[in-house]
A and B are shown apart, each in its own frame.
Chain A
Amino acid sequence: MRNQEIRTQRERHGRQAVAVLPIHYPKELLTALDLLAVELWGPPGPPRGDDAGRVQSYVCSVVRNALAFLAGGHADSVDGVLFPHTCDSIQQLATLATDLGGWTKPAFTFLHPRGADRPSARRFVEAELRRLAGTLEAFSGHALTEERLAAALALHREVDAARGALLDARARLPLDDTQLYALLRRGEWRWPADHLVELEAALATLAPEPVQRGVPVLVTGYVPEPAALLATLNGAGGYVAADDYAAVGRRVVRATPTPAADPWRALVDRYFAAPPCPTRGADTGVRMAHLAALAERSGARGVLVHVLKFCEPELFDVPAVKQAFASRGLPVLVLEGELEGALSGQAVTRLEAFGELLQGAPGAA
């Protein structure tokens, strides 16, 4: 499907495609320059090619799989690749693949400031956005006018508003979790305007009253892979009522202060308005308050923490998440995976037991 989209965008609109490594990046810039972003979350399953062996087995499967995928020529349908400096591992992958072999087409980087929103970080982000924009302009052959940027910002605001509305009205959405995430994750590679159309179509199906009958669960973690996890959760009697996946909810910018007239300022504001994410060094207290608010709003009765093995940014927050919800009396299940193609038997058993526990919990639906 991704390759089909890349072909279609190229043939119909003359758009080039850029593969993008997780997690956060200024997609607005790519859209403004008519570049199709195609995200590369691994991809899941066993690594495709021997180059995975160039990264030690104690590194997360996202990085190992991505190197194998890029070096094995599986991403040759795209024209460039963007490495956001998400963590130590992607940072190293960016230099490994481009400097020591694995990727020969154009490569771009986006460097995040870490920690709190502060004036120095804002100035750095704006300069970094302008630097990236400059290299993407040269690559795409388009000039980034303020009008183009403003239009892209408006489009992405709409996309986020629709994604946020779907997640907020989750209980009234007549989709199971597998269908919901298939829809939301198409945004990782579809042209944003086309994705918006399908989001709006889904919004039109919202029922006036809740249709979800399972136990509401807050999910926080990295990426909903393997997708079978969702069906298992539903089968166990739960459903995702609130999402804090890095790949999904953590990238929906909900805070909407009046957008600045200057599109560069508006872009910087959007960057800092995103939900707290450990990969950007968010303050733990702020993040726990955010998760607690998500749980409260959605009426979640349990918390599923779904992390990837060896993923330090996520793993560091696990004790704080457990502690935050223990004090609220919400059960927490921590599942650790490796981007495997199928859900392990052990994970299935634990999810089922978790479902039973939640259904037995007071107030469970």
Chain B
Amino acid sequence: MLRRARYELAGRAAFPILTALEAWQHRLKRSRKQPGGGPFGPPLESVRRLKELMAHHYFQGRYADGAVPVAWVTSGFPVEVLRALGFHTVYPENHAALCGVQRLTPEYSDVAEAAGYSRDLCSYVRTDLGSVLSSKTPVGRLPRPQLLACCTNICQTVLYWYRELSRHLGVPLVLVDTPFVHGTASAHQLAYVKEQLEELCLVAGRVSGKPLDAERLVEVTRTAREGSRLWGECLAASRARPAPWTGIDGFFHIAPIVALRGTEACNGYYRLLRDELEDRVARGVGGLKEEKHRLLWDNLPVWFAVRRFSTLLAERGFNFVSTSYTDAWAEAGVGIDPDDPIGSAARTYTHVILNQDLPNRLDILRRLSRDYAVDGAILHSDRSCKPYSIGQVDLRERLAAELGIRVLLLEADHNDPRSWAAEPGENRLAAFMEGFE
């Protein structure tokens, strides 16, 4: 009871005090800087609310264990079931990205490597395992999970990762395994995934101490679908010229649809953001002061260098108006159906971009290129993410030949700056941009 009250209070009372303090510090910092400089358009007003929302999520999380059931979850996991059971969910990928932005990966990875994990493993994994093994985190404290929930629709890596978490934390692991799709998933593939979702309902129900309420699941599914639709509307705003925000903004604004999918807080936030973006479109306000070239980005962001990349590009009038990464969360979620929450989740979560063949990926890149009228693309060849990166050499050639656009394959890593050769990388970026002039 006490812990539950503290968990609720963390959200309602203590948290607003902290965010107010942060906002005040931010204003103080900004007032010391010269306004109006740089190649970017005016900052989005919604950013402040985004920070509050995510800080609230992490802050409340500090008090979650013991108060409500807690699960650590992969980004592509069919979270609606957990949400309906009242789980507080933590996304180690999201947390790792946060560490990546703050350039903490080398420090955490060193801890993981000292424990025997290879540096050739995904840098999200090394960041997360290092954080777990050292008990360090930039968010103060992550609540201890009672359940690890893993879905292989983004990669097999997550299964190996979560098995290790299970070993270190001594916590049960529930798996939703989604066999890879060539063309369209077969009936037996979908039946297998559906059956596992039914198993999940029972296992998660046991951990949470109460059975799943079917009506609540319908409600959460509806909310999650609405969240994906709203996120899609935010992204679609960039079809306008100039795009009202940058792709880099999109990388940060993805956090709620990943970590809070299926909640009203997530949807409320995206309504706010969508309205602001549409207002900017109506007023002709761009993410850049001067948008000369429109680019597509494929693969994860380079979290530790997003600002640097976007500034280098923005200074010469280049904007990422679309990214396959942010688009994935808009595409997949709209397929879930409140009238058939389990069956539709099986179909939807099996057909995410990374669980499908390369022709499907090429189709998505082609469609995004056309819909967002891009004149170039950067394919981030991500050392840490093989499922997203294998095939990009061919995708580059096909996109360039079929659409007549310039396409750069840029090798980096989404979280580990030690795998990024800054000088040659930036030179390649500069040469790519010169090709447009």
Contacts and interface: CB of A to CB of B under 8 A. Distances in A.
Interface stretch (B24-32, B178-186, B271-279): B178-186
A85 B180 contact: yes
B394 interface: yes
Interface in A31-83: 53-56, 58-59, 63
A316 B390 contact: no
A315 interface: yes
Given A100-B358, A120-B192, A318-B116, A95 B121 contact: no
B120 A315 contact: yes
A85 B191 contact: no
Interface in B150-198: 152, 155-157, 159-161, 163-164, 166-167, 175, 177, 179-180, 182, 186, 188-189, 191-192, 195-196
Most buried by B among A54, A91, A112, A123: A91
Given A88-B155, A312-B160, A59 B386 contact: yes
Contacts of A322: 116
A283 B390 CA distance: 27
A113 interface: yes
Given A96-B358, A114-B156, A58 B394 contact: no
B125 to A, nearest CB: 8
B347 interface: no
Given A55-B390, A99-B357, A283-B163, A123 B152 contact: no
Contacts of A320: 164, 167
A91 B386 CA distance: 10
Nearest to A283: B163
A88 B387 contact: yes
Contact of B175 (A114, A119, A131): A114
A98 to B, nearest CB: 8
Contact of B180 (A111, A124, A313): A111
Contacts of B122: 312
Contacts of A96: 358, 390-391, 394
Contacts of A283: 163
Contact of B188 (A87, A116, A127, A318): A127
A120 B199 contact: yes
A309 B386 CA distance: 13
Contacts of B189: 111, 124
Task: Indicate the size class of the contact surface on chain A.
Answer: 35 or more
A259 interface: no
Contact of B393 (A53, A121, A315): A53
B175 A115 contact: yes
Nearest to B187: A127
Contacts of A95: 182, 357-359, 391
B383 interface: yes
Contact of B394 (A85, A101, A109): A101
Contacts of A53: 393
B199 to A, nearest CB: 7
A47 B138 CA distance: 44
Contacts of B182: 94-95, 109
A315 B179 contact: no
B19 interface: no
Contacts of B420: none
A180 B193 CA distance: 42
B177 A313 contact: no
Interface string B266-297: 00000000000000000000000000000000
A54 B409 CA distance: 12
Given A91-B387, A95-B391, A278 B118 contact: no
A11 to B, nearest CB: 34
Q: Name, among B177, B186, B357, B390, the residue most crowded by chain A CB atoms within 10 Å (CB to CB).
A: B390
Contact of A56 (B195, B357, B381): B381
B358 A131 contact: no
B189 to A, nearest CB: 7
B411 interface: yes
A124 B191 CA distance: 8
A174 interface: no
B3 interface: no
B411 A124 contact: no
Given A56-B381, A118-B199, A312-B121, A88 B157 contact: yes
B196 A120 contact: yes
Nearest to A67: B390
Contacts of A319: 115-117, 164
Given A96-B358, A113-B179, A59 B160 contact: no
A55 B156 contact: no
B161 to A, nearest CB: 8
A15 to B, nearest CB: 27
A281 B157 CA distance: 10
A128 B190 CA distance: 12
A333 to B, nearest CB: 13
Contacts of B120: 58, 309-310, 312, 315
B192 A99 contact: no
B389 interface: yes
A313 B164 CA distance: 12
A281 B394 contact: no
B192 A316 contact: no
Interface string B355-397: 0011100000000000000000000010100110111111100
12 contacts: A59-B390, A92-B386, A92-B390, A100-B395, A114-B175, A116-B175, A119-B195, A124-B189, A281-B159, A312-B120, A315-B120, A318-B118
Question: 6 tightest CB-CB pairs across the interface, nearest first?
Answer: A319-B116, A127-B188, A92-B390, A124-B192, A316-B160, A95-B357
Given A58-B386, A88-B155, A319-B116, 6 more contacts: A55-B393, A59-B389, A85-B180, A120-B195, A281-B177, A310-B120
